[in-house]
Amino acid sequence: MAVERYDVLDRDGNRTYENMPRDLVHGRGVLHPGVHVWITDGLRVLMARRDAGKALMGGTWDIIAGHVAAGETTRNAGVREVREEAGLLATPDQLHFFGTSVTDMAVPAWGGAHHRTREDNYVWYRSDLYLGDVTPEDGSINTPTWVDLDQLEADMRSEARARDYALREPTGPALFALGVVIMRQFEGGPPEWAHPGA
């Protein structure tokens, strides 16, 4: 099996001309690109439990999230992650960019090494999605469910309930709160900024 390699980012989040194997990137806490995909019908967001055995935020509720392979764009990585984690087929033009976030958190299972990613966030509007359509290919998530945006917003205001989600440091609940604001704009269909050519 080929060794996964990730592009190295500089402190400003720009790609350098270097890439490294996954183990070195994680072991040395190297900043590298990641991607988040928020699948919504404008009222709810698709979430699933991360596998409990995962070293990073195992057992928590999460959106579609993953690494970006060396040379891969974040948008294409989002399409791939949606296929691997949810068994759904998206096209790059269906993913609408809405912002960047940064994760920098120590992972005890990695000997305290830091997981450091700069993630591009995309929203995918799906008014026709049924949970039965969600069939993860890679087993990294389970129990897919729709979470009402009002419920997610309330959970982010409760320290106890927020811990049940994959909160990435240092953003914590703020990233999920931003996601809710963006997804609400899709109620009744994509907003103008998300139309092709916008």
182 CA to centre of own chain? 15
User: What tens digit of pLDDT does each residue of 151-176 get?
Assistant: 999 999 999 999 999 888 888 889 99
Low-confidence ranges of the chain (pLDDT < 50): 198
- Report the pLDDT value the prediction gives residue 10, as an integer from 0 to 100: 96
- Report the pLDDT value the prediction gives residue 146, as an integer from 0 to 100: 96
CA distances from 129 to 6, 42, 134, 152, 153 (A): 32, 12, 8, 19, 22
Which positions ≥6 away from 62 have C-beta within 8 Å? 47, 48, 49, 50, 141, 165, 166
- Report the pLDDT value the prediction gives residue 198, as an integer from 0 to 100: 45
Asked if residue 117 lies in contact with residue 9, where contact means CB atoms within 8 angstroms, the answer is no
Question: In the numeric block, which tokens belong to residue 153?
Answer: 């917003």
Place of tokens 């994680």: 26
- Report the pLDDT value the prediction gives residue 1, as an integer from 0 to 100: 63
Query: Which domains, and CATH codes, for the chain?
Result: 33-96+118-187 (3.90.79.10)
